[in-house]
Amino acid sequence: MTGVDRREVAVEAAVEAAGEVAEEGRVGRVERRALGVPDLSLVVLVGATGSGKSTFAARHFKATEVISSDFCRGLVSDDENDQSASSDAFDVLHFIVGKRLAAGRLTVVDATNVQSEARTQLVRLAREHDVLPVAIVLDVPEQVCAERNATRADRAGLPRRVIQRHQRELRRSLRHLEREGFRKVHHLRGQAEADAAEVVRCRRFNDLRHLTGPFDIIGDIHGCRSELETLLGRLGYVLVRDGLGRAVDAAHPQGRTAVFVGDLVDRGPDSPGVLRLVMGMVAAGHALCVPGNHENKLGRYLKGRKVQHTHGLAETVEQLEKEDAAFRDEVGTFLHGLVSHYVLDGGGLVVCHAGLPEKYHGRTSGRVRSFALYGDTTGETDEFGLPVRYPWAEDYRGRAAVVYGHTPTPRATWLNNTICLDTGCVFGGRMTALRWPERELVDVPAERVWYEPTKPLATEAPGGADGRPLDLGDVAGRRIVETRHMGRLAVKEENAAAALEVMSRFAIDPRLLPYLPPTMAPCATSQEDGYLEHPAEAFAGYRADGVREVVCEEKHMGSRAVVLVCRDETVAAERFGAPKGVPGALYTRTGRPFFDDPEATGTLLRRVAACVAEAGLWEELESDWLLLDAELMPWSLKATGLLRKQYAAVGAASGAAFPGVLGALEAAAGRGVEVGPLLQRQRDRAADAAAFTAAYRRYCWRVGEQAAWDGLGALEGVRLAPFQILAVQGRNLAGLAHTEQLALIDRIVAAESAVAGHDDGVSGGGPAAGGAGLLATTRRIIVDTEDEASVAAGIRWWLELTAGGGEGMVVKPVQALIRQPDGRLIQPGVKCRGREYLRIIYGPEYTRPDNLKRLRIRHLGHKRSLALREYALGLEALDRLAEGEPLWRVHEAVFGVLALESEPVDPRL
pLDDT tens track for 486-507: 988 999 989 888 888 888 888 8
Q: What are phi and psi of 24, to 5 degrees?
A: -70, 150
Assess contact for 401 and 419: CB atoms under 8 A. Answer: yes
What confidence category does residue 239 fall into, taking pLDDT thresholds of 50, 70 and 90?
very high
What's the half-sphere exposure (Cβ side, CA atoms, 13 Å) at 322?
8
Q: Which residues of 25-43 are buried (b: 16+ CB within 10 A; e: fewer)?
A: eeeeebebbbbbbbebbbb
Q: What is the pLDDT of residue 456?
A: 63
Q: What is the C-alpha to C-alpha distance for residues 675 and 690, in angstroms, rounded to an integer?
A: 22
Residues constituting the chain: 909
Mean pLDDT to the nearest integer, 196-209: 94
Count of Cβ atoms closer than 10 Å to residue 464 Cβ: 14
Residue in 362, 78, 55, 100 with CA at minimum distance from that of residue 207: 362
* Strands 808-813 and 830-833, sheet pairing: antiparallel
Region for residue 668 given its phi and psi (left: phi exceeds 0; alpha: psi -120 to 50; beta: otherwise) = alpha
Kindly state the DSSP code that residue 188 receives in the 8-state scheme: E
What confidence category does residue 356 fall into, taking pLDDT thresholds of 50, 70 and 90?
very high
Q: What is the C-alpha to C-alpha distance for residues 784 and 551, in angstroms, rounded to an integer?
A: 9
> Which residues are CB-neighbours of 656 under 8 A, at least 6 positions away?
none
Q: What is the pLDDT of residue 631?
A: 92
CB-count burial class (<10 Å; 0-12, 13-18, 19+) for 310? exposed
Q: Coil, strand or helix: which one is 61?
A: coil
Q: What is the pLDDT of residue 23?
A: 41
CB-count burial class (<10 Å; 0-12, 13-18, 19+) for 335? buried
pLDDT surpassing 90 at residue 699:
no
Residue in 326, 304, 328, 306 with CA at minimum distance from that of residue 318: 328
Mean pLDDT to the nearest integer, 861-874: 93
- Has this prediction a pTM greater than 0.85? no
Q: What is the C-alpha to C-alpha distance for residues 65 and 103, in angstroms, rounded to an integer?
A: 12
pLDDT surpassing 90 at residue 886:
no
Mean pLDDT of the chain: 86
Residue in 558, 548, 629, 592 with CA at minimum distance from that of residue 815: 548
DSSP-assigned letters across all residues of 362-431: T--SHHHHHHHHH--EEEEE-TTSPEEEP-GGGG---SSEEEE-SS--SS--EETTEEE---BGGGTSEE
Q: What are phi and psi of 20, to 5 degrees?
A: -130, 115
Q: What are phi and psi of 487, to 5 degrees?
A: 70, -140
Q: What is the C-alpha to C-alpha distance for residues 495 and 896, in angstroms, rounded to an integer?
A: 9
What confidence category does residue 645 fall into, taking pLDDT thresholds of 50, 70 and 90?
low
Give the helix/strand (H/E) hosting 187.
strand 184-189
pLDDT surpassing 90 at residue 626:
yes
Assess contact for 400 and 348: CB atoms under 8 A. Answer: yes
Kindly list the distances between the CA atom of residue 536 and the CA atoms of 144, 347, 792, 793, 796, in Å, as whole numbers in the listed order.
80, 48, 9, 11, 11
Q: Tens digit of pLDDT for each residue in 395-419? A: 888 889 999 999 898 888 888 889 9
SS3 content of the chain, % helix, strand, coil (to 5): 40, 20, 40
pLDDT surpassing 80 at residue 3:
no
Assess contact for 131 and 184: CB atoms under 8 A. Answer: no
Mean pLDDT to the nearest integer, 328-343: 95
Assess contact for 776 and 723: CB atoms under 8 A. Answer: no
Question: What is the torsional sign of CA 871, 875, 876, 878?
Answer: positive
Among 188-202, 373-387, 442-456, which is the least confidently predicted range?
373-387
Question: What is the torsional sign of CA 766, 770, 774, 775?
Answer: negative
Residue in 536, 512, 669, 525 with CA at minimum distance from that of residue 605: 512
> Which residues are CB-neighbours of 162 under 8 A, at least 6 positions away?
49
Residue that wins the pLDDT comparison between 844 and 875: 875
Assess contact for 402 and 217: CB atoms under 8 A. Answer: no
Q: What percent of the chain shows pLDDT beyond 70?
A: 87
> Which residues are CB-neighbours of 75 under 8 A, at least 6 positions away?
89, 92
Residue that wins the pLDDT comparison between 806 and 240: 240
Residue that wins the pLDDT comparison between 289 and 674: 289
What's the half-sphere exposure (Cβ side, CA atoms, 13 Å) at 672?
0
Mean pLDDT to the nearest integer, 676-681: 76
pLDDT surpassing 60 at residue 705:
no
Mean pLDDT to the nearest integer, 550-567: 92
Q: Coil, strand or helix: which one is 577?
A: coil
Mean pLDDT to the nearest integer, 707-725: 73
Residue that wins the pLDDT comparison between 383 and 852: 852
CB-count burial class (<10 Å; 0-12, 13-18, 19+) for 1? buried
pLDDT surpassing 90 at residue 383:
no
Residue in 80, 348, 38, 31 with CA at minimum distance from that of residue 189: 31
CA angle 190, 195, 201 (to 5 degrees): 115
pLDDT surpassing 90 at residue 703:
no
Count of Cβ atoms closer than 10 Å to residue 477 Cβ: 11
Q: What is the C-alpha to C-alpha distance for residues 54 and 718, in angstroms, rounded to an integer?
A: 76
> Which residues are CB-neighbours of 181 under 8 A, at least 6 positions away?
123, 126, 127, 133
What confidence category does residue 704 fall into, taking pLDDT thresholds of 50, 70 and 90?
low
Q: What is the C-alpha to C-alpha distance for residues 77 and 95, in angstroms, rounded to an integer?
A: 17
What confidence category does residue 641 fall into, taking pLDDT thresholds of 50, 70 and 90?
low
Q: What is the pLDDT of residue 646?
A: 66
Q: What is the C-alpha to C-alpha distance for residues 186 and 189, in angstroms, rounded to an integer?
A: 10
Count of Cβ atoms closer than 10 Å to residue 506 Cβ: 12
> Which residues are CB-neighbours of 466 under 8 A, at least 6 positions away?
577
Assess contact for 513 and 587: CB atoms under 8 A. Answer: yes
Residue in 568, 563, 567 with CA at minimum distance from that of residue 594: 563
Q: Which residues of 404-414 are buried (b: 16+ CB within 10 A; e: fewer)?
A: bbbbbbebbeb
Q: What is the pLDDT of residue 88?
A: 94
Q: What is the C-alpha to C-alpha distance for residues 419 and 402, in angstroms, rounded to an integer?
A: 7
pLDDT surpassing 80 at residue 235:
yes
Mean pLDDT to the nearest integer, 260-265: 95
Q: What is the C-alpha to C-alpha distance for residues 369 and 353, in angstroms, rounded to an integer?
A: 10
Mean pLDDT to the nearest integer, 239-268: 95
Count of Cβ atoms closer than 10 Å to residue 861 Cβ: 9
Mean pLDDT to the nearest integer, 108-136: 94
What confidence category does residue 552 fall into, taking pLDDT thresholds of 50, 70 and 90?
very high
Q: What is the pLDDT of residue 530?
A: 87
Q: What is the pLDDT of residue 389?
A: 72
DSSP-assigned letters across all residues of 508-563: --GGG----PPP-EEPPPP-STT-SS-HHHHHHHHHHTT--EEEEEEE-SSEEEEE
Count of Cβ atoms closer than 10 Å to residue 384 Cβ: 9
Q: What are phi and psi of 311, to 5 degrees?
A: 55, 35
